[in-house]
């Protein structure tokens, strides 16, 4: 990373050899895996554990060209997703000129590189489609819509299991407008659902299901269902759902593809209906079907799952506030780290509640629920133990209204509670 010439660079030398420097004293960068419009992805090694990771390096100068929202969205989405079939974002770090996403390394590469050389058997197609639907169902249950599902964004790990990546174009339920629809046109033309082309708004979940159908078709056929050298010709085929299923496709798969690629979103198959489909369930034990439907992968994170990614707000060198200003997650959630004991922190919360005329609805050893003066809005203050010395303080609005007193609570609590400063060794 010699290109980073910041005088305040936090790229430090681990062992004294100039050609063996490590990023933040943590990660030794390796080969370039890929690059896009504003980022490069490198393979790297965690020098503390020897574990392989992928690091996306974002140039802040490029973000001035209107891509800041893209990065903010990706961080917002990926920090709330923990699922076996989704690439995990473990940490976000920054220098003066760059932002670094430390992510799970998918050694198997893109699914696209494998399907582009030959089509898959139905059994293999079924395996990856099941894993894709599992990830998509998890995202939708948490108000996240990917909007750019395609084989280039589906990676494989060392066990050849699927990992969904690249949430830069994703949307969250908070972006849904008053008509119940999303309105931003995005995605890759060959995978985009027909309702997006109408520009009248669309259901993000239904659009993702269409893209899943295109992916399944491609896995089984070895080619895309909709293709045309002329973009308008392509859109006409998508709008009318004109495609030809290969002769080798089984009757059950034909029926499922027809339901996935149905042009009317209101009549398109849903995720829950996919879970009941005969082709999808072929060869699965009924007990496994029930387990899949109950969604084992809960979003609730326990203290031992929190890592450096959750310490961004307390780290002077990894602080993204200069880039994102007063960035708050779409769940109206604010987080910071303190070295005070939980009873001391909650004592200060209780004191502030009295000052702001808030009612304490419920209190536990590490959490407190506060209700606003009118008795409509509430905020939850929750403490997560990170280490023996550090606690993460999380303040989350449960509704959109009442932000004035909620913001006052945030600001006052941040001033009252001690927050240690983390410095990268020089």
Torsion of CA 253, 254, 256, 259, to 10 degrees: 170
The token pair at 171 is: 């949307």
- Compute the distance between CA of residue 186 and CA of residue 157 in angstroms, rounded to an integer: 27
Tell me what percent of the chain is helix, strand and coil, each rounded to the nearest 5: 35, 20, 40
Look at strands 89-94 and 98-104 and give their pairing: antiparallel
- Compute the distance between CA of residue 225 and CA of residue 114 in angstroms, rounded to an integer: 18
All residues at 6 or more sequence positions from 66 whose CB lies less than 8 Å from its CB, including other chains: none
From the candidates 148, 208, 310, 334, which is the catalytic residue? 148
- Compute the distance between CA of residue 424 and CA of residue 9 in angstroms, rounded to an integer: 10
- Residues 396/380, Cβ–Cβ less than 8 Å: yes
CA-based nearest residue to 413, from 362, 338, 321: 338
The token pair at 367 is: 């959490």
* Residue 148 annotated as catalytic: yes
Q: Which residue has the tokens 């808030």?
A: 358
Output the DSSP codes for 130-182: HHHHHHHHHHHHTTEE-S--SGGGEEE-TTS-EEE---TT-EEGGG--TTS-B
- Compute the distance between CA of residue 213 and CA of residue 279 in angstroms, rounded to an integer: 13
Query: Does an H or E element contain 286, and which?
Result: helix 286-294
The catalytic residue positions are 148
């Amino acid at each position: 990373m010699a290109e980073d010439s910041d005088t305040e660079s936090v790229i430090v030398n681990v062992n004294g050899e100039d050609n063996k420097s490590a990023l933040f004293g943590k990660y030794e960068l390796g080969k370039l895996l890929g690059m896009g419009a504003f980022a490069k992805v490198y393979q790297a090694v965690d020098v503390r554990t020897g574990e392989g990771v992928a690091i996306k390096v974002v140039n802040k100068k490029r973000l001035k060209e209107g891509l800041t929202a893209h990065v903010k969205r990706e961080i917002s989405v990926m920090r709330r997703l923990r699922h076996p079939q989704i690439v995990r974002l473990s940490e976000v770090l920054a220098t003066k000129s760059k932002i670094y996403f430390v992510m799970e390394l998918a050694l198997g590469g893109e699914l696209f590189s494998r399907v582009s050389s030959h089509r898959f058997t139905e059994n293999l197609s079924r395996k990856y489609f099941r894993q894709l639907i599992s990830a998509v169902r998890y995202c939708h249950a948490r108000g996240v819509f990917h909007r750019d599902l395609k084989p280039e964004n589906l990676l494989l790990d060392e066990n050849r299991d699927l990992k969904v990546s690249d949430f830069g174009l994703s949307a969250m339920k908070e972006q849904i407008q008053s008509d119940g629809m999303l309105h931003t046109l995005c995605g890759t033309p060959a995978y985009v659902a027909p309702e997006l082309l109408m520009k009248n708004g669309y259901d993000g979940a239904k659009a993702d299901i269409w893209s899943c159908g295109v992916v399944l078709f491609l896995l089984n056929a070895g080619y895309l269902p909709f293709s045309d050298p002329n973009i308008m010709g392509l859109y006409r085929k998508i709008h009318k759902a004109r495609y030809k299923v290969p002769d080798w496709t089984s009757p059950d798969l034909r029926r499922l593809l027809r339901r996935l690629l149905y042009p009317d979103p209101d009549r398109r198959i849903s995720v829950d209906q996919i879970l009941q489909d005969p082709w999808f369930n072929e060869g699965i034990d009924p007990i496994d079907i029930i387990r899949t439907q109950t969604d084992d992968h809960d979003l609730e994170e326990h203290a031992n799952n929190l890592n450096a990614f959750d310490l961004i707000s307390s780290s002077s060198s990894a602080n993204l506030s200069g880039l994102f200003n007063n960035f708050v997650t779409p769940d109206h959630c604010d987080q910071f780290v303190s070295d005070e004991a939980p009873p001391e922190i909650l004592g200060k919360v209780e004191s502030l509640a009295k000052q702001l005329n808030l009612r304490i609805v419920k209190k536990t050893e590490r959490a407190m629920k506060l209700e606003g003066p009118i008795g409509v809005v509430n905020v939850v203050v929750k403490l997560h133990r990170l280490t023996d010395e550090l606690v993460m303080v999380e303040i989350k609005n449960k509704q959109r209204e009442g932000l004035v007193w909620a913001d006052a609570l945030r600001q006052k609590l941040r001033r009252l509670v001690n927050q240690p400063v983390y410095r990268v060794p020089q």
